[in-house]
Amino acid sequence: MTTAIIIVSLLLILAILVTVFRVQLLINVSKKENETVGTSNKVNAIIFPIFLVLGFAGAIWVSFYSDPYLLPEAQSIHGKRTDNLFWITMGVIGAVFFATHILLFWFPYKYQFKKERKATFYPHNNNLEIVWTVIPGIVLTVLVISGWWVWRDVMRDAPKDATVVELVGKQFNWIVRYPGDKQALIGQASPELGRYDYRLIDAVNEVGIDFTDANSFDDFMSTEIRIPKGKPVLLKIHARDVLHSVFMPHFRVKMDAVPGMQTRFWFVPEKTTAEMRAELNNPNFNYELACTEICGRGHFSMRTLIVVEEPEDYAKWVAAKKPFLAQNRDYLSQVPANLKEKALKVIGPGEDTAPAEQPAATAALPLGTQPVANR
């Protein structure tokens, strides 16, 4: 209680002091009417250009300082275009930033209070209005239209001959599936991914490949993403559980992976991993895919390496890959009887050519006893 009374008394004394001080100030002001503006006017005026210079120095310094934290140089055709847009916009914004701030900080200095000077009353000027409306209007229209132009090209359908890679996000890694190159054996003109169905997902068949679709017979899985240089690559993306997001910073590729729907992104990589290593003088350089949607505890670990190589090397790598079905022949039991011959043509006759009648339920051996695919 005593403490409370002391605190309240102190506060009251403080309030009285403040009031007395303010009254004193008012008396002083009324005594010498014309001297309300003292040296502080000059000091404030001078501070403005000083802040301008310091602020600009800081802005320029921070741009150089943050340079290493910007995205690496774009290594895809569309990436160069989007980067271009970014830097043009930055240029326009930068010019406006410097021009407006010079005026903003210079004017308080130049037009500081002076006894002998009166402000001009300048209510309106149509020409000025037109200039500062039309010029930004034109600049913004050019920026928006050029951005839309690039966006339209980035988002348009991939060329028919694009290399297809399926990326499936799951907590917490990316599953990578390729359509395989044995399309001739199943009577297809071009490589095509087999259908998938979430109900078919199990410990081994991680994306739920549907083996009633002949296109799935030569599909193969990979622990890394390999793509050919200079050729269009089409990513078919979805997620198994929650939202994930495909981010390949070097290629300026970014697309959400959504459960229940497929998203796509296509691009053309311009330099092989080997070329980049030589150029950066860094033998450990790797392109990478990271997840950019906080998807849970292990989000940080959703990193997959990307290897870009010459198209011939890429073709060799694909040819050497064994189809998922060839590595997990138990799934032959899920292949309909009329397609079994085709499937065997693709995966080759195994010593374990399973009888067609084997029911699907018993086909999947307990985890660990089964030959696991590449991942």
239 with 201: CB under 8 angstroms? no
Residue 277 or 299: which CB sits closer to Cu ion?
299
CB of 68 to Cu ion, least distance (A): 24
CB of 248 to Cu ion, least distance (A): 14
CB of 45 to Cu ion, least distance (A): 53
Residue 143 or 258: which CB sits closer to Cu ion?
258
Residue 295 or 364: which CB sits closer to Cu ion?
295
CA distances from 362 to 21, 275, 332, 359 (A): 92, 49, 12, 6
Residue 255 or 363: which CB sits closer to Cu ion?
255
**Cβ-based neighbour number of residue 162 at 10 Å:** 18
Q: Residue written as tokens 């695919």?
A: 373
CB of 293 to Cu ion, least distance (A): 5
CB of 303 to Cu ion, least distance (A): 10
Give the rounded distance of the alpha carbon of 151 from its chain centre: 15
Tokens representing residue 371 in the block: 């030959």
CB of 176 to Cu ion, least distance (A): 16
Residue 175 or 193: which CB sits closer to Cu ion?
175
Residue 158 or 295: which CB sits closer to Cu ion?
295
Residues forming the site for Cu ion (CB under 5 A): 244, 291, 295, 299, 302
Residue 193 or 302: which CB sits closer to Cu ion?
302
Cα separation, 79 vs 150, in Å, equals: 10
**List of residues 6+ apart from 97 with CB closer than 8 A:** 59
Residue 170 or 329: which CB sits closer to Cu ion?
170
Residue 296 or 350: which CB sits closer to Cu ion?
296
Tokens representing residue 199 in the block: 């109900």
CB of 288 to Cu ion, least distance (A): 14
Which one, of 253, 86, 38, lies nearest residue 158 by Cα? 253
CB of 239 to Cu ion, least distance (A): 10
CB of 304 to Cu ion, least distance (A): 12
